[in-house]
Amino acid sequence: MVELTRTRDSDALSYDVERVRADFPVLSRLVHERKGKPGKPLVYLDSGASAHKPRQVIEAMSRFMEEDYSNIHRGVHFLSQRATDRFDAVRGKVARFLNAPSDNTIVFTRSATEAINLVASSYGRTFLKEGDEVILSVMEHHANIVPWQLLQAEKGIVIKVVPVDDEGVFDLDAYAGLLSDRTKFVAITHCSNVLGTVTPAREIARLAHERGVPVLFDGSQAVVHRPVDVQEIDADFYVFTVHKLYGPTGLGVLYGKYELLKKMPPYQGGGDMIEAVSFEGTTFKLPPTRFEAGTPPITEVIGLGAAIDYVESLGREAIAAHEDDLLKYATQQLSQLEGLRILGTAPGKGPIISFTLDGVHPHDIGTIVDQYGVAIRVGRHCAEPLGERFGVGASARASFGLYNTRAEVDALVSSVRAVKEFFGA
Ligand SMILES: *Cc1c(COP(=O)(O)O)cnc(C)c1O
Helix axes 55-67, 298-314, angle to 10 degrees: 140
Is ligand 1 within 6 A of the CB of residue 183?
no
191 is catalytic: no
Is ligand 1 within 6 A of the CB of residue 117?
no
pTM score, whole prediction: 0.95
Is ligand 1 within 6 A of the CB of residue 356?
no
Residue 35 pLDDT: 86
Pocket test for ligand 1, best of 46, 118, 145, 221 (most atoms within 8 A of CB): 221
Answer for the pair 87, 302: CB distance below 8 angstroms, yes or no: yes
Where do you find CATH 3.40.640.10 in the chain? Answer: 57-312
How far is 215 from 187, CA to CA, in rounded Å?
6
> Between vectors from CA 292 to CA 289 and to CA 298, what angle results, nearest 5°?
105
Instruction: Label residue 7 by pLDDT band (50, 70, 90).
Output: very low
Instruction: Label residue 1 by pLDDT band (50, 70, 90).
Output: very low
Instruction: Label residue 13 by pLDDT band (50, 70, 90).
Output: low
How far is 209 from 228, CA to CA, in rounded Å?
19
Distance 215 CA to ligand 1 centre (A): 18
Pocket test for ligand 1, best of 117, 118, 140, 141 (most atoms within 8 A of CB): 141
Any idea which of 8-22, 266-280, 346-360 has the lowest mean pLDDT? 8-22
How far is 135 from 146, CA to CA, in rounded Å?
13
Is ligand 1 within 6 A of the CB of residue 241?
yes
More confident call, 12 vs 30: 30
Quote the percentage of the chain above a pLDDT of 70.
97
Close Cβ partners of 268 (under 8 Å, ≥ 6 residues apart): 291, 293, 294
From the candidate CATH numbers 3.30.110.70, 3.90.1150.10, 1.20.81.30, 3.40.50.620, the one assigned to the domain spanning 9-54+315-423:
3.90.1150.10
pLDDT in tens, 14-28: 799 999 999 999 999
Answer for the pair 313, 330: CB distance below 8 angstroms, yes or no: no
Answer for the pair 138, 197: CB distance below 8 angstroms, yes or no: no
Would the pLDDT of 316 be above 90? yes
Using DSSP, state whether 196 is helix, strand or coil. coil
Residue 290 pLDDT: 95
How far is 51 from 110, CA to CA, in rounded Å?
17
Would the pLDDT of 46 be above 80? yes
CATH class of 57-312: alpha beta
How far is 399 from 377, CA to CA, in rounded Å?
8
Closest CA to 113 of 291, 250, 303: 250
Where do you find CATH 3.90.1150.10 in the chain? Answer: 9-54+315-423
pLDDT in tens, 152-201: 999 999 999 999 999 999 999 999 999 999 999 999 999 999 999 999 99
**Interval 361-366 mean pLDDT:** 96
Would the pLDDT of 275 be above 60? yes
Task: Given the residues 382, 394, 411, 416, select the one marked as catalytic.
Answer: 382
Q: Report the chain's mean pLDDT, rounded to a whole number.
A: 94
**Interval 133-151 mean pLDDT:** 97
Residue 382 pLDDT: 87
pLDDT in tens, 90-116: 999 999 999 999 999 999 999 999 999
